[in-house]
Amino acid sequence: MKILMKTIVAVTIIGLFNIQSIQAQTGSSEMRTSYQAWISTYETSRPIAGVLYEIEDSSVTLSNRNFSRNGSSGKVDMTKLDVRSIDVMKLRKNGNTGRGILYGAISGLVVGGVLGILYASTVEKHEEGANNFEKSLNSTASTMQIVGSSILIGIGCIGTGIGVGAIIGSAKIAIPINGSQAQFTQNKSMLKDYSVKSVMGLEAKSFSILRGTLIDIDGNAYPMVALGAQVWMAEDLKVIRYRDGSEISDLTKETGGNGRQYNWSAINDSRKICPVGWHVPSNSEWNSLFNSLGGENGAAQKLGSGFSDKGEVCQWWSSTEQGPNQAYSLYLNNATAAVMVTGIAKNSDLSVRCVRDY
């Protein structure tokens, strides 16, 4: 009996330790400040769901992805809703239901352990009046009964805890807007507390235009811009020769004075197409640039300042291969604020934008 009680106590202590450990891990999670949103509008029959990304003066933006502290989240789709179309906003912290279930299960384990100890103590006290022969005769059956009953008590408590935790964790904060700008403005400061950009500090940065110019092997000059730890050419590459002075074959003509276009063989050539100290950016380097500007969808319009012309449609090579016949490219349409990472045949002709070596 004492062994059983010690076991229950040990399980209870482990449960208490685990809940503290899990809380610490959850508190340090990079995703902890993302809020799931369900927005009912007058234009759709079902709520529009996503992560609450940004609160602006007269609109709300939802994302289909969660965001880490540095803004990295992979490919992102954004949905912007005008305040006049919003009826009710419901919010819940990302992963709250799972946490509620987990905490409920651990709480049920703890309560079940305590009740099991009380039950075992009650039965043991009841048996103290029996003689030694009766105690010996009923010892095995009594122990099995106590163990079985304690397990059932524990299971019942855990199940109840899970149910209660799921209900509490799935609860949403309801914020009525009723299509009213005044009501939205009244709740705006509170809503910012739940948005990714405000809470996690993912506000987009802007380019810094560097002094001086970069000169390639042919004498072409390029302005340079910096963003975070990266330094980029502010114009497309124009060279007709590799670093070693050998000519690049199969060149297209200049595209409107904004640079030349090259196929993959030129991009991947060991003689290097970018000036010394520079290289063709990889997918991860392109993504780092986009994330510094607020994500792929938010980056497109901001790239127009110092990087590409407004309204311009551009497509640049990435140094990352997609397969034997394709490589990745970055497609930008400033007019529609769209940036897309897409595969393209290696014999295609695309522009090149170089980034400085680290």
pTM: 0.47
pLDDT at 164: 84
Q: Give the type of residue at 253.
A: K
Is the pLDDT at 136 greater than 70? The verdict is no
User: What is the helix (H) or strand (E) element at residue 52, kind and residue range?
Assistant: strand 48-55
- Name residue 313's beta-bridge partners: 333
**pLDDT (tens digit per residue) in 248-298:** 987 766 655 568 999 999 999 999 999 999 999 998 888 888 877 766 666
pLDDT at 67: 61
Average pLDDT over residues 300-324: 76
Average pLDDT over residues 171-176: 88
Q: What percent of the chain has pLDDT over 70?
A: 68
> Which residues in the chain are classed under CATH 3.10.100?
208-356
Dihedral angle over CA of 342, 348, 349, 351, nearest 10: 20
pLDDT at 211: 79
Is the pLDDT at 127 greater than 80? The verdict is no
pLDDT at 96: 76
* Confidence grade of residue 14 (pLDDT, cut at 50, 70, 90): very low
CATH number assigned to the domain covering 208-356: 3.10.100
Is the pLDDT at 357 greater than 60? The verdict is yes
The pLDDT mean for the chain works out to: 76
Question: What does the alpha-carbon distance between residue 128 and residue 316 come to, in Å, rounded to a whole number?
Answer: 85
pLDDT at 133: 46
Average pLDDT over residues 129-149: 57
Q: What are phi and psi of 245, to 5 degrees?
A: 95, -10
Of 32 and 351, more confident: 351
Question: What does the alpha-carbon distance between residue 263 and residue 232 come to, in Å, rounded to a whole number?
Answer: 21
Average pLDDT over residues 13-37: 50
